[in-house]
Structure 1
Amino acid sequence: MSDRIDTHQHYLPGFYRDLLDRHGKNAGGWPMPDWSTQSALNLMDELRIATGVLSLSSPGVRFGDQSRDIARRVNEFGAELVKDRPDRFGLFASLPLPDVDGALAEVAYAFDELNADGVVLMSNVEGTYLGERSYEPLWEELNRRGAVVFVHPDAPPMQMLDGLPAPLLDFPFDTTRTAVHMVANGVLSRHTAMKVLLSHAGGFLPYAAYRFTGAAMFNEGITAESVFTDLRRFYFDTALSSTPATMPSLLAFADHTHITFGSDFPFAPASAQITAMLDDAGLDDGLHTAINRGNAEHLFPRLAR
């Protein structure tokens, strides 16, 4: 029986793929995969995924003056997929950051007109990270709506190492960097009604969480205790991360009600193998069910059985 809710699944509209090609953009040096609605459904059936909450991956919708229009087009495309198959798909709407006014307009459209399930933000936009003070109006609005915010990594503003594309090495770092930046700047402590979901088990955050409490030494208004508390407010998906090396750290750090299943389709060629590792991780039935479905049902009540 298809039972999982996949909170980390991507879509690649044809017009968006063409736009990336014309602008010479890609996901941090990673080959852009083929995607279709049917290929997504096939993978979902194979891995017993009932519903995939779709999002754009890196590089998102930053295309200069076209960013607002591109965000609107990809969001309307995704909303049509959900409209056609509300049982199988959900949508994280894309926002045209660093254009905060444009992002606020798209939040209103995405939630009020398209019935989006949440929004997706890249970990950085041209070197601007999510704890940036200028983003405060956006956080206020997302918090007012009690929104689910999915943070997906993008290539950091630094040179890639030869033979090591950003998704392989730099993405976990950038997720960690933006998450700690948000906490150090009080985003999580000020806005407790929204839920922020980090990709790939939060990058290195669970492994080094105690180290990051040292941010209190350099940022007024926070303490080591408040940093740790806010780091545990995050939600974490298992995309590419339900391995014997990663799961023990994630389970030792995270609130067990804050872990959701992720496939990273179609970018992760090893989705099936990583999912099998989750199923073979020796989790008790209650926790396994919570990660596969139950925790996501709390984030997305419309998907609850």
Structure 2
Amino acid sequence: MRLIAIEEHILPSAVRKAWAAAPEPHDPVSAAADGGENGVRLADLEAGRLALMDEQGVDVQVLSLTTPGLHNLTPDTAVDMACRVNDLIARTCARHPDRFQGFAALPTPDPDAAPRELERAVRELGLKGALVCGRTRERHLDHPSLRPMLAKAEELRAPIFIHPQTPLAAVRAANYAGIGETADLALAAFGLGWHYEAGLQWVRLAAAGVFDELPDLQIILGHWGEVVLFYLERMTPVFERTLDLRRSFTDYARNNLYVTGSGMWSETYLQRCLEIVGPERLLFSTDFPYQYRPGGAPRRFVEDVSLDDAVRAGFAHGNWERLTGQTD
């Protein structure tokens, strides 16, 4: 069974340098998460990565720039880095077409350039969509200036993966501080806070009427829906009373959202997502290299989880191939 993992990250040295040179405040997570062995694996696009894919039982990785992407750079730098990163991903895919596909990195600090780069990445480079990290500093993904980028994604039938990003410093200070320096950062980021951040971006898109305006726009959320998916039963009636939307939040989840596990090997979460979004909207991912585990855990999870053969095949590869036009 072919196994395609769609949230698999890279970090070129040029992007590290651009982050360091960007205006403050800087995202504090990379220093904690992207060094050491993770740093080596993020930079490796050849034999080392392929060997670990083989060990995991993963046939294809969909490569993407890790968080916080290009969102905190100056507009000019973001445009330059987007071109360089996307060209790098495309060259890697060309060298190993049976092993790699790619998500584009987009220069969201320049809202006019972002849709142009998305079109170049998809039409000229053959990338399959884009991965963004929610906010661009204080500007959320539903901001009107970013609507052309979302419209271009709908036009191209290119899915947008919303990846977590660390909350703003003011939010961290208000909600996640006071336990201890290391614990505060973990709580604000990969422990909890950045999952709320990513899920909130999808909720905001729905609440702002983006899916009414762009009914064919497809969004992907990792980590089994970034917490908010499990609150649809709460959100649906609340927003039906308070917002003038054409459809319910439940309908948006079943028509405009795909979910993936990001290396969280939980059958309980998978089954709940299956009930919420349906079998054709489950995608597989390992969140490489952050959730890497030796011993073939990714393939074993897919093979052992309680799904019928058709749903299992869709989860493993078929749903992604259909979403990105690689099969009928």
Instruction: Report the CA distance shift for 1:196/1:19 in structure 2 as closer, same or farther (over 3 A).
Output: same
What amino acid does structure 2 have at the position aligned with 1:231? Answer: A
3-state SS of the aligned residue for 2:60? Answer: strand
Contact 1:27/1:57, CA 8 A, preserved across alignment: no
Count of residues in correspondence between the two structures: 301
Alignment counterpart, residue 33 of structure 2, candidates 31, 34, 37: 31
Q: Report the Cα offset of residue 261 of structure 1.
A: 0.4
Q: Is residue 281 of structure 2 the alignment partner of residue 252 of structure 1? A: no
Q: Distance in 2 between matches of 1:226 and 1:31?
A: 38
Contact 1:259/1:291, CA 8 A, preserved across alignment: yes
Corresponding residue for residue 240 of structure 1? 263
Contact 2:119/2:152, CA 8 A, preserved across alignment: no
Corresponding residue for residue 115 of structure 1? 126
Corresponding residue for residue 282 of structure 1? 306
3-state SS of the aligned residue for 1:232? Answer: helix
Alignment counterpart, residue 217 of structure 1, candidates 235, 241, 252: 241
Q: Distance in 2 between matches of 1:30 and 1:149?
A: 26
Q: How does 1:98-113 map to 2 (within 5 A)?
A: 98-113=109-124
Greater CA deviation, 85-94 or 248-257?
248-257
Contact 1:180/1:212, CA 8 A, preserved across alignment: no
Instruction: Report the CA distance shift for 1:198/1:26 in structure 2 as closer, same or farther (over 3 A).
Output: same
Corresponding residue for residue 230 of structure 1? 252
3-state SS of the aligned residue for 1:266? Answer: coil
Higher share in helix: 2
Corresponding residue for residue 9 of structure 2? 10
Contact 1:7/1:53, CA 8 A, preserved across alignment: yes
Instruction: Report the CA distance shift for 1:30/1:222 in structure 2 as closer, same or farther (over 3 A).
Output: farther
Q: Report the Cα offset of residue 279 of structure 1.
A: 3.4
Corresponding residue for residue 52 of structure 1? 61
What amino acid does structure 2 have at the position aligned with 1:109? Answer: R
Q: Distance in 2 between matches of 1:278 and 1:168?
A: 25
Q: Report the Cα offset of residue 230 of structure 1.
A: 0.8
Q: Distance in 2 between matches of 1:51 and 1:147?
A: 18
Alignment counterpart, residue 317 of structure 2, candidates 288, 293, 305: 293
Instruction: Report the CA distance shift for 1:241/1:188 in structure 2 as closer, same or farther (over 3 A).
Output: farther
Q: Deviations over 1:90-134 (max 9, x none)?
A: 111011113210202212321232121111111222132222222
Corresponding residue for residue 97 of structure 1? 108
Q: Distance in 1 between matches of 2:142 and 2:312?
A: 32
Q: Deviations over 1:237-256 (max 9, x none)?
A: 12133314422321221221
Corresponding residue for residue 218 of structure 2? 195
What amino acid does structure 1 have at the position aligned with 2:93? Answer: V
Q: Distance in 2 between matches of 1:189 and 1:47?
A: 40
Q: Distance in 1 between matches of 2:258 and 2:250?
A: 14
Contact 1:199/1:239, CA 8 A, preserved across alignment: yes
Greater CA deviation, 24-33 or 225-234?
24-33
Corresponding residue for residue 135 of structure 1? 146
Contact 1:124/1:153, CA 8 A, preserved across alignment: no
Q: Deviations over 1:236-295 (max 9, x none)?
A: 112133314422321221221001100100122448546644433222222211101111
Q: Distance in 1 between matches of 2:274 and 2:129?
A: 25
Q: Distance in 2 between matches of 1:127 and 1:280?
A: 42
Instruction: Report the CA distance shift for 1:46/1:189 in structure 2 as closer, same or farther (over 3 A).
Output: farther
Q: Distance in 1 between matches of 2:293 and 2:242?
A: 40
Alignment counterpart, residue 175 of structure 1, candidates 194, 198, 201: 198
Q: How does 1:77-88 map to 2 (within 5 A)?
A: 77-88=88-99
Q: Report the Cα offset of residue 84 of structure 1.
A: 0.9
For the aligned residue pairs, the C-alpha RMSD in angstroms reads 2.3
Q: Distance in 1 between matches of 2:153 and 2:325?
A: 17
Instruction: Report the CA distance shift for 1:122/1:77 in structure 2 as closer, same or farther (over 3 A).
Output: same
Contact 1:243/1:274, CA 8 A, preserved across alignment: no
Instruction: Report the CA distance shift for 1:122/1:42 in structure 2 as closer, same or farther (over 3 A).
Output: same
Q: Report the Cα offset of residue 154 of structure 1.
A: 0.8
3-state SS of the aligned residue for 1:87? Answer: coil
Identity of aligned residues (%): 26
What amino acid does structure 2 have at the position aligned with 1:31? Answer: A
Q: Distance in 1 between matches of 2:53 and 2:286?
A: 9
Q: Is residue 84 of structure 2 the alignment partner of residue 61 of structure 1? A: no
Q: Deviations over 1:201-254 (max 9, x none)?
A: 2111331111121123332x216x522201222001121333144223212212
